[in-house]
Structures are given as C-alpha cells and as structure tokens.
Amino acid sequence: MTRPRGVVVVTGSELVRGERTDRNGPFLAAELLRLGIEPARIAIVGDGAAELEAALREGLEADLCVVSGGLGPTHDDRTVQMLARAAGLELAVDPELEAEIEGFSRRIAERLKRPYGDFAEGVRKQATLPAGALVIGVAGTAPALVLGRNGSAVVVLPGPPPELQRLWPAALESAPVRAVLSRARVPDRRALRFYGASESTVARALAEAGGEADGLTATICAREFEIHVDLVAEKDARESADRLASALRERLGEYLFAEDERPVEALVLDSARELGLTVATAESCTGGLVAARLTSVPGSSDVFRGGIVAYANDVKAAEVGVPEELLARHGAVSPEVAQALAAGARERLGADVGIGVSGIAGPGGGTPEKPVGRVYLHAEGPRSGLARELDLGGDRAAVRARATAAALHLARALLAQIRDKGA
Amino acid sequence: MTRPRGVVVVTGSELVRGERTDRNGPFLAAELLRLGIEPARIAIVGDGAAELEAALREGLEADLCVVSGGLGPTHDDRTVQMLARAAGLELAVDPELEAEIEGFSRRIAERLKRPYGDFAEGVRKQATLPAGALVIGVAGTAPALVLGRNGSAVVVLPGPPPELQRLWPAALESAPVRAVLSRARVPDRRALRFYGASESTVARALAEAGGEADGLTATICAREFEIHVDLVAEKDARESADRLASALRERLGEYLFAEDERPVEALVLDSARELGLTVATAESCTGGLVAARLTSVPGSSDVFRGGIVAYANDVKAAEVGVPEELLARHGAVSPEVAQALAAGARERLGADVGIGVSGIAGPGGGTPEKPVGRVYLHAEGPRSGLARELDLGGDRAAVRARATAAALHLARALLAQIRDKGA
C-alpha cells in the first residue's frame, strides 16, 4: 500500500518571477510529510489563467492538493475560477459568505471614506464558490475552501503565510481532508545530525551500514557544515531503522551532535542553561549574525547576555578591550584577536562563555596571506577555550552564514567539553 | 508575438519535503525574466522516477527548460536518465567526459585512501549522456548539460546554488540557448518602492492612475512594510509605463523612497556615506539583525562602526550607558530607553548616527500595557532624531524581521531629513 500523494500549488506572479521566495510550499510540504502523506510536488505558477489551470488540473490528480494564493478581489486573482474549470464544477455566489465579506468590506470602505459600491463587485467575486465547496474560514475578505472529490480533497488557502498557517488546522478538521488522512500512515522518522564529517563520509558509512531497505528511506542533506541523515520508516521497517541508526552512531559517533531537530543555537542555549552558564558574543565579519541566531530562540534572554559587533578597530579596542598592540602586531583578522574578542565578550558583558569571530567576508579585503573566506573563531569558557581557523568558499553572504554556523558549533563543542570534563 | 515560455524544474527530496527552501528556482526565474523569457512555472519534485519524469515532460513543452539537481553518482540521482526517457533519446557514455570525471575521482579516492574501483560505477553513470547533449562544464563530478530540440532548449545544472550560479553563464553562451534568447524581447522594467503606505492605498493609486495597459503589466508586492510596484513594459508600451510611473510619483510621492532595487540597508549606508556620517546600532529585541543587515552590504565598514546587542538590562546600562533610573522608571521596552540606546550607540561607538531598538518579540514577555509585538525605535543624529512606536503582528521571527526593516527605514528617513534640511 502506498501512501496518499500530496501536491502543493502555489500561485503568485512575484513568486514565479523569483522576486520573492515562497514560504508556503515548504510549510505545507513539511505538514504533509508529518501527516503521512507523500509530498510529491510543489508547483509555483503566476496568475496567468492557462498556467494556473494546468497546475490545478495536475493537482486534482493527487489525493490531497493544497493551493495557496489567488483569492483576492481583483481580476488577476483566479484560483477559484480556474479550480472550478479544472474540476468541471459550476460557480455560484454563496449568500451567507457574501454577507460576511460585505460586513468586513463596509468597515474598510468607511475607514477609507469611500462608497461601498466601489467594493461590491470584488465582494461578489470573493463570495463565488465552486459547487460543493466548504468555507473553513475567512482571512480579511478571502475565503479558505475545502472541496471533496471521490475520496480526494482540495484545500484552497490565502497566500499570506501567517493567514495560511492560521487557517490550515481548520482544513485538517474538514471531512474531505480527514477522509484522506484516514488512509495515511504516519511514518516513523529519525534524524541524526553530524558536524565535521563530509557528506561523502556519511554517505559511505550509510552504505556500509546496510543503507536503505524495504519501507526504509534514508536521505542525506548537507547544510552549513551539518550533515543531516533522515530515516523514514514504514511500520514494519522500524527495526531496520533502529539497526541503521545504531550502526551510524557506532561508525560516526565522534561527529554525531544531535538526534533531534533543534537548531545549533538552541543546543548552545540549552547546554549553557543546564550548566548554569551565560553566553555573550563579540563579532567582526559576521556582523551580528551569531547574536541574531542565539536571540532567535524564545527564552534566550536567561542565557544570552548580549553581544558586541566590533566592526571598526577602535571599537574592538574600546568596547571589547582587544589590546591595540595585538591588533597592530597580528592584524584584526587573526587567531589572537578572535581569542581577545571572546575573552572581551566574557569580561565586558559579564558572561561565562564568550564567542569571538574575526574574518574576511569579502568581496574586498583579502590578501595572499589571508584570503577572502579566512575566518578565525574562538569560544572561551571559565577555564578553557577552543579555537578554529576556516577557509570558506562562496560569496559574502555564504562566508558570513557558514562562519556563523561554525561559531555556534564551536560554542556547542566547548559546552559539551565543560559538561563532560568539568573543564 | 508572445515571449518565449520558461519552466524551471528543481529536484531534491529535501526540497519537496519542505526540509530546505529552494534557492535555485527564484534565482533562475529572475534570470529568465531579465532575459525576456516569461517564467511560467517552478516545479519542485523529489527523486522519485515517476514524478521527476512527469515534471521533465512538462518542462520539455517550454521554449527553455532549466533543471537543477539530481546529477550525483548514486542511484537516486536520476535527472539525466529521466530526461532521456522524457525526450525519447538514447543514453551513451561520453568517453572524454568519463576521463575528466575519472581524473577528479581518482584524486578523491587517493585522499580517502580507497580503491578507485569503488568509484568506477558512479563515474560511468555521471559520464552517461542523452544523445546530442552538450557538456558546458563540470562541478566536481557532476556535468552540466544543454540539449537543443527543434528551437527549444533544456539546461541541466547541478543542485548546489553556488555551482549552479557559476555554470549558468556557460549555459547562456551555448548555441541552443542563444537560439531561444534571439526570440526573446527584453522588457523595460521600472521599480517604484514605497514605505508607509498600505498595499490597498498603492493599489488604488495605481488603478486611479490608469493601471495596466496593452503590453504593460504592473505587480504590487508587499514585504516588511515596503510596497514594491514593478512595471514591466513591452517596447511599444514604454510611454504608458512612463505616464503610469509619473502618476504614481505624484499621488504617492511622500511614501516613495526608491526607484531601484537596492535594499534599505544599502540606501542607509549610501546616504550616510554621501553625507560623510558614520552609523552604529544598539539593539535589544532584534538581537543583532539590524547590524547584520547593515554589514551584509560589501564595503559597509567605512560607514558602520559597530553595534551592541544589549539583551540583559545591566548590559544596556554598562555597555550603552542607558541610565539605570530610566530603565527602572519606564521599563526596558519604552521610547525613553530606545532613545537612550540610540544616543548610547552614537557616544560609545563614536558614530554620527545611532539606531536604537527595544521591544517584545514574544512569545513570552507581553503585558496588557505592552503586548507582544510592541517595539520602540529611535534614530539619533548629530542635531536631531526620529522616534517610532510599532505594534507588530506575527511570531517571534516576524516581529524581529519587521522591527529590523522599520529601524532601517527610520534611519533612512533621518538621513534624508539631514540631507534636505541640514538638520
């Protein structure tokens, strides 16, 4: 028995033109996977009628099709109209829905001091539904819909990601979607995350450990030096998954840093919290990204004290206490200055653990001795520290992102060392 | 005459599962648009043979189809095989390509101290091409290909975004792609960017100014409080585009802040540079994101002196010089503290313009008086300042991103005021 097949159709001309990156496709695909439905395709199309209709027609072949966007009041919002055409359904105004949208629109009209007549056509358009569609909620003037068809279902949601995410649970509660979910089998998922091993090393270990089996898929995915191995097991393949995970732990134990999905910044904060330690940063080339990732975690304020972005050299000296003599002798991009930044972060910001970053993000500023991409990292604890030198590829954004990830992993390693050795 | 139609097919199981956000689709779509080819669809599929073949089959109907990923040595890298099947072409090993990939693989085998025999099968697979395919470059062991078919073209590129972007120019130089580009008409594009006006205000002004016309499309796109209006005009609609742009300038002049694509952080740095002023930041809830956006711009170091992420209250006092009495009386999240942060950033970091941010990013920490999403911003110059209070919706990440954008716009507005009034 195969899992139900899911397709996501995202519409928006700024998305298909690459002017904005779609966030709904990844959200919905991850949701489908979680629910035991195979995300088979994400199609991004503009607001042209023919392209949208073709994408919807293909979506209708899936067990569950989720559509985002194209529900607005204007002529180029065509999702409902094209869905009706693709599904061969009549369109009709839903009087109850029209009254609800009219109420909302009258308030807008009043606020804008415009006659309601200007809105009436758009309201009628937004209250027009394919025969048999259920309204599961409204975002502003845009209705969210579910349509059942011979055991399969189509969900239509508004494009703005917060609205889409707010209305998604109501779609899951609807009868047509529940009918599809009743045929889904939620797989057993295991994540193993490695740091410091290459993708090919992990791939080889996976193959040597037996690799995929019936009902067990293994994907390897590299991001910012982390290698994520994702094992997805059907019910009768759970033992195979256990065996594979054990074998990977044995072969790559030194690189294994997590078996859950917490990002590295959360692991740093959790480790520090368990040890009763606080953290601070002093960054040069990453320009605040390390602090930004640490503070992206809710509740970080009990561990993270603060950070200094020391871009100018005299800021490094005055605010972080990096000795001027050190800057003159070794240069701002040096292991010595990275250590002084980490030590200064501890001292100036009153933290137990300091993270220091200094490097050349490019595109300018490189020398033969210290090329673009050279980064020095230092994590300094109460009684010990760890240092790292990197030569990173890619453009300015890539160098900064990779240096940030590496700095967080260095702090994670230091905290693990403190926990294990008390040092 | 319609523009040539372009389709992007992205393959990667971690992408279709929503575990990673695709970057190649937006890059390639923006490239197609720039070259005068209509980006009609971005399809993201996994590595399953049937889904990939179906997506490629649809891609082959376009004038230009660009495929990313699925070129590796393992069994689940199926792009070349499925492309040959969809196009009805024979597959054969290319001896020259095999020799090149073999050389690379032998070096890897040596480094890993493994027999080359382990790699031979993968090398043969990666050197196997559909009849008539041109090799335009190699990324590691993965070849990039172009295939011409009756005036249309298929480009196959490796999945890692830096490799894809490196090999893309070679694809554009190939004869089959040049044949498609010769039929493309590069449209005239105009961007107008507004800040502080709602999307519906801009939409209304656009409609009142005449709106779209034959050969002229106008898209409105909101992101982080900015409203971008994009006018795309065919050759004979340039005058209509000029008229529409003028009318928008007239109606919405007070909100218009740019007519190019530079991000607001670049506008802040450019304005400051022109005025000979330096900039520094002191952030609480945005946790370094304002500094990170400013330092994301190459060459920012001549304007940006540094920043302080003052998370703990005593860091606000000790490092930024926010008076303890102010913190006690008004609370850390207050207009007074935002102003003190901006003033402290100027003074402590020796900058002409200071940006201060204090707020409640959530999910915890809100009160009835100061709910989650409340943010106070302050930009302080040598002789004047600007303040702003915001109540932002969305989750922690959304509040932080929107507060960051608003802080940068406040600094931009202050710099514009200094330029215009010398104050």
Residue B183 to chain A, least CA–CA distance (Å): 19
As a whole number of Å, the end-to-end CA separation of chain B is 54
Cβ B306–A311 below 8 Å, yes or no? yes
Beta-strand ranges (E) seen in B347-402 are 353-359, 374-380, 385-391
- A20 contacts in B (CB within 8 Å)? 26, 221, 223
Tokens encoding A166: 């707010």
What gap in Å lies between CA B212 and CA B205, rounded to an integer? Answer: 12
Which candidate from B18, B51, B296 shows the least CB-CB separation from A30? B18
- The separation between CA B124 and the C-alpha centre of its own chain, rounded to angstroms, equals 37
Mutation pick from B268, B311, B396, B408 vs chain A, by most beta carbons of A within 10 Å, is B311
Distance CA B400, CA B392 (A): 9
Query: Residue B423's pLDDT band (boundaries 50, 70, 90)?
Result: low
Is the omega angle on the peptide bond into residue B363 within 30 degrees of 0, that is, cis?
yes
Q: Are strands B279-283 and B353-359 parallel, antiparallel or unpaired?
A: parallel
Sort out which chain B residues have CB atoms less than 8 A from A27's CB and list them: 18
What are the pLDDT digits (tens) for A145-156?
A: 999 998 999 999
What is the nearest CA distance from B255 to chain A, expressed in angstroms? 18
Q: Report whether pLDDT(B245) > 80.
A: yes
Q: How confident is the model at residue A98 (pLDDT cuts 50, 70, 90)?
A: very high
Q: Rounded to whole angstroms, how far apart are CA atoms A79 and A157?
A: 10
Check A306 against B311: CB less than 8 A apart. yes
User: Could you tell me how many residues make up chain B?
Assistant: 423
Peptide bond into A363 cis (omega under 30): yes
Selected residue of A7, A16, A303, A346 to mutate for chain B interface (largest B Cβ count, 10 A): A16
CA of B400: which chain A residue's CA is closest?
A296
Pairing outcome for strands A64-68 and A5-11:
parallel
Is B48's CB within 8 Å of A40's CB?
Answer: yes
Contact indicator for A392, A399 with CB cutoff of 8 Å: yes
- Chain A residues close to B372, C-beta within 8 Å: none
- What confidence score (pLDDT) does residue B218 get? 86
Whether the per-residue pLDDT at A1 is higher than 70: the answer is: no
CB contacts, 8 Å: A18 with chain B: 25-31, 33, 39
Per-residue pLDDT, B1: 52
Residues of B in contact with A55 (CB under 8 A): 41
What is the least distance, in Å, from the CA of B42 to any CA of chain A? Answer: 5
Q: Which of A332, A227, A217, A349 is nearest to A282 (CA)?
A: A349
Q: Which residues of A touch B298 (CB under 8 A)?
A: 362-364, 396
Sign of CA dihedral B52, B57, B58, B60: positive
Confirm whether the ipTM is greater than 0.85.
no
| Whole-number Å distance between alpha carbons of B156 and B82 | 12
Per-position b or e across A240-255, b if 16+ CB within 10 A of its CB: bbeebbeebeebbeeb
Query: Is residue B113 over pLDDT 80?
Result: no
Region B354-358: mean pLDDT is: 98
Dist CA B326 CA A252 (whole Å)? 53
Q: Are A47 and A11 in contact (CB under 8 A)?
A: yes
pLDDT value at residue B335: 97
CB contact under 8 A, B281 and A309: yes
Which of B35, B38, B41 to mutate: most A Cβ within 10 Å?
B41
Sequence-ordered strand ranges (E) for B140-186: 142-149, 152-157
In A72-203, which ranges are E strands? 91-93, 128-130, 134-139, 142-149, 152-157, 188-195
DSSP A220-232: EEEETTEEEEEEE
How many A/B residue pairs have CB atoms within 8 Å?
Answer: 238
**Cα(A126)–Cα(A137) distance, integer angstroms:** 13
Closest residue to A364, CB basis, from B26, B288, B299: B299
Residues A287, B294: C-beta atoms closer than 8 Å: yes
Which pLDDT score is estimated for B183? 94
Contact check, Cβ <8 Å, A312/B296: no
Residue ranges and CATH numbers for the domains of chain A are: 5-181 (3.40.980.10), 188-258 (3.30.70.2860), 264-421 (3.90.950.20)
Q: Judge residue B366's burial from the number of C-beta atoms within 10 Å of its C-beta, 0-12 exposed, 13-18 middle, 19 or more buried.
A: middle
Q: Return the pLDDT at B155.
A: 98
Given a contact cutoff of 8 angstroms between Cβ atoms, the answer to whether B194 and B227 are in contact is yes
Contact present, B47 and B78 (Cβ < 8 Å)? yes
What is the distance between the alpha carbons of residues A267 and A411, in angstroms, rounded to a whole number? 10
Q: Which two three-digit tokens encode residue A208?
A: 């040597």
pTM of the predicted structure, to 2 decimals: 0.81
Distance CA A44, CA A162 (A): 19
Nearest alpha-carbon partner for B176 in B58, B65, B32: B65
B201 vs A45: which has the higher pLDDT = A45
Mean of all residue pLDDT scores within chain B: 92
Q: How far apart are CA B416 and CA B422, in angstroms?
A: 9
Report pLDDT for A146: 98
Picking from A84, A101, A100, the residue whose alpha carbon sits closest to that of residue A92 is A84
Which one of A23, A33, A44, A284 makes the best mutation probe of the B interface by having the most chain B beta carbons within 10 Å? A44
Q: A107: how many CB neighbours lie within 10 A of its CB? A: 10
Q: How far is B339 from chain A (nearest CA, A)?
A: 19
Identify which of B20, B42, B310 has the shortest CB distance to residue A221. B20
Q: Which amino acid is at B168?
A: W
Binning pLDDT at 50, 70 and 90, where does residue A394 land? confident
Contact A18 B28 (CB under 8 A): yes
- CB-closest option in A13, A20, A55 to B223: A20
Residue A119 structure tokens? 């809105």
Q: Which tops the pLDDT comparison, A394 or B32?
A: B32
Contact yes or no for A306 and B301 at CB 8 A:
no
How many angstroms away from the CA of B162 is the closest CA of chain A? 7
pLDDT in tens, A25-76: 999 999 998 899 999 999 999 988 999 999 999 999 999 999 999 998 877 8
Token digits of residue A403: 């240096």
> A118 CA to chain B: closest CA distance, Å?
11
Chain B residue with CA closest to A42: the answer is B44
Nearest residue to B171 via CA among B66, B84, B323: B66
Tell me the average pLDDT across A8-32.
92
Of A196-200, A323-327, B4-8, B292-296, the range with the lowest mean pLDDT is: A196-200
CB neighbourhood size of B278 (10 A): 20
Q: How do residues B300-350 score in pLDDT, each as one tens digit?
A: 999 999 999 999 999 999 999 999 999 999 999 999 999 999 999 999 999
CB within 8 A of A367, min separation 6: which ones?
none
CB contact under 8 A, A19 and B30: yes
Task: Find, in chain A, the residue whose alpha carbon is nearest to that of B47.
Answer: A40
Least confident of A22-26, B76-80, B153-157, B197-201: B197-201
Q: What is the pLDDT of residues A301-316, one digit of tens each?
A: 999 999 999 999 999 9
pLDDT at A117: 84
Residue of chain A minimizing CA distance to B201: A112
Whether A309 sits inside 8 A of B310 (CB atoms) is no
Q: Which residue of A has its CA nearest to B363?
A: A298
d(CA A280, CA A346): 6
Long-range contacts of the stretch B245-249 (C-beta < 8 A, 24+): B245/B190, B245/B192, B247/B205, B247/B208, B247/B209, B247/B210, B248/B192, B248/B205, B248/B206, B248/B209, B249/B192
- Return the pLDDT at A187: 83
Mutation for testing the A interface, residue in B74, B75, B309 having most A CBs under 10 Å: B309
A233: its two tokens: 């097991």
Quick: pLDDT tens for B258-310: 999 899 999 999 999 999 999 999 999 999 999 999 999 999 999 999 999 99
Q: Which of A40, A162, A298 sits opposite B363 (nearest CB)?
A: A298
What is d(CA B336, CA B109) in angstroms, rounded to the nearest whole number? Answer: 63
pLDDT score recorded for residue B261 = 84
- Chain A's closest residue to B360, CA to CA, is A298
Q: Decide if B223 and A395 are in contact by the 8 Å CB cutoff.
A: no
Question: What residues of A are in contact with residue B362 (Cβ under 8 Å)?
Answer: 298
Kindly report, residue by residue over A110-131, the tens digit of the pLDDT: 877 778 888 888 899 999 999 9
Are the Cβ atoms of A18 and B25 closer than 8 angstroms?
yes
In this predicted structure, what is the pLDDT of residue A47? 84
pLDDT at B206 > cutoff 60: yes
**Whole-number average pLDDT of chain A:** 92
Distance from CA of B70 to the nearest CA of A (A): 13
Q: A250-282: per-residue pLDDT in tens?
A: 999 999 999 998 999 999 999 999 999 999 999
| Amino acid symbol at B151 | G
